[in-house]
Amino acid sequence: MRRNQTYLFIALVFLLAPFVSQARHIIGGEITYECLGDGLYEFTMFVYRDCSSAGAPYDMPAHISIFRQNGNAYVSVDQLMVDITGGIQTILAPNDPCLLTPPNVCVEEAKYVFQANLPLITGSYHIVYQRCCRNNTISNIVNPRDAGATYTIELTEEAQAECNNSPVFNDFPPIVICANSPLFFDHSATDPDGDQLVYEFCAPILGGGPLGGSPEHPGDPNACDGVQPIFPCEPPFDPVVFVLPTYSALNPMGGDPQVSINANTGEITGIPNTLGQFVVGVCVSEYRDGVLLSQVRRDFQFNVTNCEPTVDARIEFDEIINEQEFVINSCGNNTITFGNNSVQQQFIDEFFWNFNIEGTVETFTEWEPTITFPDLGTYQGQLILNPGTDCGDTAFINVNVYPEIEADFSFSFDTCIAGPITFTDMSFSGEGPNAITDWLWDFDLGQQGTSDEQNPVYMLNSPGNIPVSLTVTDVNECEDTETQNVPWFPVPPILLIEPSTFNGCAPQTVFFDNLSVPIDSTYDIVWNFGDGTTSGEVSPTHVYNEPGIYDISLQVTSPIGCFVEDAWENWITVRPSPIADFVFNPEEVNSFDPTVNFTDLSFEPSFWSWDFDGDGFSNEQNPVFTFPDTGQQVVTLIVTHESGCMDTLVQLIDVIPRVTYFMPNAFTPNSDAVNDFFIGNGIIEGMENFRMTIWNRWGEKIYETSDPRSGWNGRKNNNGRLSPNGVYVYVVTYTGPRKNNFRLKGYATLIR
C-alpha cells in the first residue's frame, strides 16, 4: 500500500492558487565556487523563482560585487555584470503516475557562471548578489513583501591558501510538501575535495530593499537598498526577521515536533503540520583537519499544503489496526454490507473483494457487496484496487461475526411518594450468561445523571416522562441500547421552603424559595400567604403591606393526582414602619440669613436622626441649624418606630449666595482723610468680573478699575490733573456667584 510517499490532491490547484497568482518572485538561490588555480575562481550562482511570477524577472545581466574583507572593513574590489548561462530551466514536480500535480506548479532556475581573478590576501573575499523581493504570502518572516534576498559566499583566507572547491548541493528541494505526512528529503551536498561536511538550518539573509520609485516605496530602485541593486551593498548583512516565537532559523516551519536536518547527512525529516509558505535556509559548512574552509548557504521556499493520494483503498470500519488493516464487527447478524469509501473513483480502473469463507476464497465485484457468512467466527478478506499496477492499493479486512446482544430492563417505584427507582437489568448476550461486561445507564439524556451499575437504585431530581437508556457491552465489544420512558410524577415527601426573611418592616418583600423535590411548573401549586392573597408559582415573591403576623400554607398536586400540603403558623412577622417627613422655613435661604428652622411631620416616629450635609447632626424632633456654606445642602432625616423599623427622607436646601455693592453720591478729595475717594461698599465675596468707569460731562472716561476695593481720588486715572468740582457719571458692572450679571449707574458729585 502506497502510504508513505508524497501525494498531491487535485485540490492543490486551488489551494496553491494564491501562491501562484500572487507570487512576487524570487524564491531562493545559492552561490558555489571552483578553484581553477593561480588565483582564478569560477563561481556558479543559481537563482530560483516561480514559473508564473508576475513580479521580479531574472536580471539580465545580474550585477555582482566582490568585496575584500580586512578585519571589520569591506572594500569593493570588482563589480561584474553576468548573463544567464544556458537559458532559463524549469524544475517540474516529480513525474509520478500516482501523483496529481497542478500544471502550473513549477519552479524556474537561472544559472549564472562567471570567473574572477582573486590573488591570495590576508582576509576573505565576499561575492554578493542581491535582489528584491520575496512572495508576500510567506508565513514565517516579518513583512515578506519588503524582505529581499542576499546570495553570497565567503572565500576565506584558508580556502584561498588550499585552492579549495566549495561543496555543491545534489538536488533541489521538493516543490510541494504534504502536511501531516512523513517528509524525507536528502539535502546533501558533494565536495570535490572530500572534506568533512556539516549541515544545519540557518537564517536566510536580507538584501535588496523595498525602495522602488513607487508611491508606496519612494526611492532609487537601483540603489544598493533598492529593488534591483546596481551594485549590491557591502557586508555585513542582516538575517531575515522570523515571526517569533512560532518560527525561527532553527525551526523555520513551526509545528511540534519540528522538522529537523541531520547534521552529518543533510537529510531533512519530520512531519510538517502547519500549512503555508516558509522561507528556509540550509547551510553546509566544509572542514578540513578541523579548519572551516567555506560555507554554502541555500535560501529556498517550502510550500506545505494538504495532500491526498490519487488511489486509496478505504472502507467503513469499526476498528483500525494500521493504515492498511481494518476490523469490522457484526453482532447477531451474519449478513454484512461493506461500505466502500475508496478514492478517487475516476482513477480506479479495476477493483474486487476477496474473502476466505470456510477455506475457499470467494471474489465479489460489486462496489459495496452484501455478503452472508455461514456462521459465527472470524473471516479475512481484502479490497484490491488496480491490481498489478503502480497506482494500486489494498485494504486488508478482518470480519468478526459475533452472537447477538439485546439490552432490556424493568423498573419499579412508589407512584405518589417521591423516592428512589429500582432498575433491573434484563439484557441478554448470545456469548453466554456472564458475557455482558459493561452497563451504562443514562437518565434523561444525561440531564439527571448516569450510572455504571448493573441494577442501580436511582433517585431522579425532576419529574416528567423521563427517558432512561441502558447500553450494554459484552466481551466481544458488541453493544445494544434500550430506551424506555419512566412516568415519574410523585409529590415531594416533604415540602421544604426557605423564605428570604422571616421578620421585617412594612412594606416587606419576601421571596419564598421552594426547595421541594420533585416539583415543576406542570404541578398544581396553591400558596396562601395569610393576608388573603394566593399564588400558583413554584417559588413566588410576595409583598406584605400591612404589619402583622402571618401563617403560610402550600398545597401541591402532581399531574397524576398525587397530593401533599403543609402549613407554617406565625411564620412571617411584619413590623409597623414610620414615615419620615419634614418642612423648613424660611423657604428661601441665603448667605445673609443661613439659619433654618426644621419642623418634623413624620408618622409615628419615636426617634429622630438629622444630618445637615455632614456639617452638623441632631436628634431633636424640630432642630434649628445654621449652614456654614452656600450652595445645595443635603438634609437627611431618619426616623425610627418603636418597633425598630426606620424610614428616611432626603431634601435639598439651596443656600443662595448674596453679593451687595452700594455707591455714594458725593466725595471730597481734599486730603483730609475723610471721604477722599469715590468708592463703593458692600459684601463682595463671590463677586467676579468687576468693572467701574467714571465719565465727565463731555463723555471722557477719566477713571477705570477692576478692583471693587479701589476708588477714584478726583484726578484723571488717579495720577493726572485735578478734576474740577461738578457732577460725574459712574457705571459699575459685575457678575454674582450664580453667574447673574449686575449693572449700577449713577452720579458722583465732586466737592473740594
**Mean pLDDT across the stretch 428-443?**
95
How much is the average pLDDT of 230-237? 93
Give the pLDDT score at 97.
53
Q: Looking at residue 20, what is its pLDDT?
A: 35
Q: What is the pLDDT of residues 115-144, one digit of tens each?
A: 999 999 999 999 999 998 888 889 999 988
360 band by pLDDT with thresholds 50, 70 and 90: very high
Q: Do domains 582-656 and 666-750 have the same CATH topology?
A: yes
- φ, ψ for residue 155, nearest 5 deg: -95, 95
Structure confidence at residue 216 (pLDDT): 66
Arithmetic mean of pLDDT, 648-662: 94
Could you tell me which residue, 337 or 461, shows the higher pLDDT? 337
Whole-Å CA distances, 712 to 542, 663, 664, 730: 77, 12, 12, 10
Q: Please report the pLDDT score of residue 183 as a whole number.
A: 83
* pLDDT at residue 255, rounded to an integer: 82
CA 468 to chain centre: 40
The pLDDT of residue 390: 62
Domain boundaries, the chain: 12-305, 319-402, 405-488, 497-503+510-566, 582-656, 666-750
What pLDDT, on a 0 to 100 scale, did the predictor assign at position 182? 75
User: What pLDDT score does 228 carry?
Assistant: 86
Instruction: Look at residues 131, 128, 169, 132 and name the one whose alpha carbon lies nearest to residue 152.
Output: 128
In terms of Cβ atoms closer than 10 Å to its own Cβ (0-12, 13-18, 19+), residue 1 is middle
For 416-427, how does the pLDDT look when each residue is reduced to its tens digit (9 = 90+)? 999 999 999 999
Does the pLDDT of residue 725 top 60, yes or no?
yes
- Give the confidence band of 572 by pLDDT, cuts at 50, 70, 90: very high
Q: Is the dihedral of CA 500, 504, 509, 510 positive or negative?
A: positive
> Residue 14 pLDDT more than 70?
no
pLDDT of 6 above 80: no
Q: What is the pLDDT of residue 7?
A: 32
Instruction: Answer with the residue of higher pLDDT: 359 or 102.
Output: 359
Distances (CA, A) of 150 to 76, 120, 224, 240: 16, 25, 11, 10
Q: pLDDT tens, 84-95?
A: 999 998 886 655
pLDDT on residue 327:
95
Confidence of residue 103 (pLDDT cuts 50, 70, 90): low
Whether this prediction's pTM lies above 0.85 is answered by: no
Sheet (strand 183-186) strand order: 183-186, 267-270, 260-261
% of the chain exceeding 90 in pLDDT: 74
Give the DSSP per-residue string, 162-185: HT----EESSPPPSEEETTS-EEE
In the predicted model, what is the mean pLDDT of residues 545-557? 96
User: What is 319-402's CATH topology?
Assistant: Immunoglobulin-like (2.60.40)
More confident position, 504 or 228: 504
pLDDT-derived band of residue 1, with 50, 70 and 90 as boundaries?
very low
Q: Is 736 exposed, middle or buried (0-12, 13-18, 19+ CB in 10 A)?
A: middle
Least confident among 143-147, 398-402, 554-558: 143-147
pLDDT of residue 4: 32
497-503+510-566 in CATH: which number? 2.60.40.10
Dump the DSSP string for 368-421: S-EEE-SSSEEEEEEEEESTTSTT-EEEEEEEEEE--EE--EEEE--SSB--PE
Q: Which residue has the higher pLDDT, 22 or 322?
A: 322
Host H or E run for residue 161: helix 157-162
The answer on pLDDT for 16 being more than 70 is no
Domain 666-750: CATH architecture, name and number where available? Sandwich (2.60)
Edge-first strand listing for the sheet containing 457-458: 409-412, 421-425, 457-458
pLDDT given for residue 133 in this prediction? 81
Average pLDDT along the chain? 90
Query: What is the pLDDT at residue 55?
Result: 57
CA dist 203 and 173 (Å) reads 17
Residue 746's identity, in one-letter code, is G
Q: In the predicted model, is pLDDT for residue 554 greater than 50?
A: yes
**Given a cut of 90, is residue 256 above it in pLDDT?**
no
Residue type at position 72: N
Span 52-56, mean pLDDT?
59
Q: Are strands 267-270 and 319-320 parallel, antiparallel or unpaired?
A: unpaired
- Express as a percent the part of the chain with pLDDT over 70: 93
Q: Note the CATH architecture for domain 582-656.
A: Sandwich (2.60)
Which pLDDT band, with edges at 50, 70 and 90, does 98 fall under?
low
Tell me if the domain spanning 405-488 has CATH number 3.40.1360.10. Answer: no
Check residue 10 and give its pLDDT: 30
